[in-house]
């Protein structure tokens, strides 16, 4: 099993609660992941909300990936929210700067709030996503480095973005998918898949993993495809600290769900109040379903992911804890989870 680190760029408290730059903290965490032997770091993209301050995943990949040795991916570049030609040029630039370490994750977007504020019809997101991804694939396959696009939204003849992609065969594309049909479709098309079950139990993930492996078998492409799962992670030998992280995970969940269903209580600056939801997971469910607990508990949980064919766990430690606690837990995870699991696999 491989271990990635998702740098969520999340802030669950009011802006005044943070004394240091978010981006200084993320740089330190990226460097620490490289030092500790994580396989990969991942960058998100979100707009106009205090909760996730990451307006350009490709720019963050360039910044945080420079000078490191691990792989660097976007999860996910939101294709419906920018012009396909700009996306093509920015992806090629990122691939040129990071080389073979760069992996391109794409998504259609989940928060209606962002689309409304940016003037993009949320209902159009699936078609915009599909059209843009098809254009990118056509462009990358073109010997001339040019391709056309004709849709209800975009219409342009033979355009050649610069710089050109260094090579499609060197670029792995990850498809963000949440449902069984979308995972199956992505895997059948030859893409690697990233998914996140939030605080839902393993039973919700099992059919997703089954769909991925079914799609890989069906496509007969013979190319390397992987499945990665995002889970909030925190390891500690202190029960008191684990309980504190459960509190933060519930705050995170409340904000996330209000954004996801467009029922948020946001002020004009995009800060969302984490008011309790009518139905939310119990504290016991949070601990059980997320990668929370002692190193021994977390290793046991990870064995279940291995058993259903998950290739990479995309850990995220920055769902709410302060930077010092994130770094401390990352070190413990590397020393007492990653190291013994790798030793056992030899």
Q: How far is CA 316 from CA 184, 196, 213, 267, in A?
A: 25, 11, 24, 26
The angle that helices 22-36 and 323-333 make with each other, rounded to 10 degrees, is: 10
Q: How far apart are CA 6 and CA 264, in angstroms?
A: 24
pTM for this prediction: 0.96
pLDDT at residue 263, rounded to an integer: 66
**CB atoms near residue 324 (< 10 Å):** 9
Q: How far apart are CA 333 and CA 316, in angstroms?
A: 12
Of 36, 95, 27, the residue nearest 67 (C-alpha): 27
Q: Strand pairing of 155-159 and 147-150? A: antiparallel
pLDDT per position as a tens digit, 259-306: 876 666 777 788 888 989 999 999 999 999 999 999 999 999 999 999
Q: How far is CA 343 from CA 8, 75, 322, in A?
A: 29, 29, 31
pLDDT at residue 265, rounded to an integer: 72
Q: In the chain, which stretches have pLDDT less than 50?
A: none
Helix H segments across 48-124? 57-65, 84-98, 112-118
Q: How far apart are CA 317 and CA 245, in angstroms?
A: 10
**CB atoms near residue 336 (< 10 Å):** 17
CA angle 56, 191, 97 (to 5 degrees): 40
pLDDT per position as a tens digit, 308-324: 999 999 999 999 999 99
Question: Locate tokens 């989870």: which residue?
Answer: 337
Q: Strand pairing of 77-78 and 102-107? A: parallel
Q: What residue ranges define each of the domains in the chain, with the CATH number in brackets?
A: 2-345 (3.20.20.30)
């Amino acid at each position: 099993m491989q271990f990635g680190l998702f740098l969520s760029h999340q802030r669950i408290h009011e802006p005044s609660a943070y004394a240091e730059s978010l981006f200084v903290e993320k740089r330190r965490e990226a460097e620490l992941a490289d030092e500790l032997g994580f396989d990969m770091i991942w960058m998100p993209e979100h707009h106009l909300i205090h909760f996730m301050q990451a307006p350009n995943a490709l720019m963050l990949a360039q910044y945080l990936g420079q000078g490191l040795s691990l792989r660097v991916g976007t999860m996910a570049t939101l294709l419906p929210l920018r012009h396909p030609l700009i996306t093509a040029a920015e992806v090629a630039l990122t691939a040129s700067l990071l080389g073979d370490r760069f992996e391109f994750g794409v998504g259609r977007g989940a928060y209606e709030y962002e689309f409304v504020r940016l003037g993009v019809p949320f209902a159009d997101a699936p078609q915009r996503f599909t059209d843009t991804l098809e254009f990118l694939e056509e462009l990358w396959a073109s010997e001339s480095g040019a391709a056309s696009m004709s849709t209800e939204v975009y219409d342009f003849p033979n355009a050649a973005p610069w710089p050109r992609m260094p090579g499609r065969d060197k670029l792995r594309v990850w498809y963000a998918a949440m449902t069984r049909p979308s995972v199956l479709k992505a895997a059948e098309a030859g893409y690697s898949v990233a998914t996140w079950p939030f605080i839902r139990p393993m039973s919700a993930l099992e059919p997703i993993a089954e769909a991925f492996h079914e799609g890989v078998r069906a496509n007969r492409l013979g190319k390397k495809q992987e499945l990665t799962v995002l889970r909030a992670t925190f390891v500690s030998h202190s029960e008191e600290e684990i309980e504190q992280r459960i509190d933060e995970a519930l705050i995170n969940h409340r904000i996330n769900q209000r954004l996801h269903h467009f029922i948020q209580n946001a002020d004009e600056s995009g800060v969302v109040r984490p008011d309790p939801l009518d139905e939310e997971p119990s504290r016991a469910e949070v601990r059980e379903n997320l990668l929370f607990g002692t190193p021994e508990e977390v290793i046991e949980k990870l064995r279940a992911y291995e058993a259903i064919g998950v290739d990479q766990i995309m850990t995220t430690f920055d769902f709410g804890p302060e930077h010092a606690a994130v770094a401390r837990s990352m070190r413990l995870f590397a020393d007492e989870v990653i190291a013994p699991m790798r030793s056992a696999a030899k």
